[in-house]
Amino acid sequence: MQPVSHADLEASLMAAGSAVSASEAHGCVCGTLCADLDFSTSELAVDLLPEESTEETASALVATVTSLREGSLDGLAGGEMGFQPLLPDDEQPLADRVEALAAWCGGFLYGLGRAGADMDLPGDLGEILGDFSEISRASLQAHEGDEEGEASYLELTEFVRASVQLAFEELAPWRDRTAGQSWTRH
């Protein structure tokens, strides 16, 4: 299965009329995967679509979300720290990349809550999710120079990448306990 790029996902969401960005959608998929490997990509795609979507539009997005789910799961479960959040390329303006990272974290929190908001968080996950909440409000400060801003962005991106990998590993017992339970829309 071909991996879904940021640009491909963004185009698919735009074609579907979604107001959700590619980074936010990927965060949502990854948050959901951390808590529930059995989630329905159809139901998740519906969450990403506006209410007036057609069946054809929904079907196309389901296919993209299914590919995104499989690629994300491969990265998370691969055991070699191969996971990467889906963010704009480094050639994009820093402000856009910071905004995308903030949206990614917001999507992750949504997906995790969507799949299991009542879970007891093991280890440092409560603190990590608090950090993700802070990152979801991040923006580029006007006084940050390009070099300082790039360094901060890279540091945050690496923190998010490693933290999601940790969350996936730490929540394995939760996923095992809830395997096979139905995933319903809230």
pLDDT at 179 (0 to 100): 62
pTM, rounded to two decimals:
0.89
CATH code at 32?
A: 1.20.120.740
Nearest in space to 108 (alpha carbons), one of 141, 134, 79, 139: 134
Instruction: Quote the domain boundaries for residue 162.
Output: 6-178
In a domain, 184, yes or no: no
In a domain, 27, yes or no: yes
The total domain count for the chain is 1
In a domain, 109, yes or no: yes
In a domain, 185, yes or no: no
How is 130-155 classified by DSSP, letter by letter?
Answer: HHHHHHTT----TT--HHHHHHHHHH
Give me the average pLDDT of each 10-residue run along the chain (186 residues): 84 90 96 88 83 78 91 88 90 93 96 74 84 90 72 94 93 74 45
In a domain, 158, yes or no: yes
In a domain, 183, yes or no: no
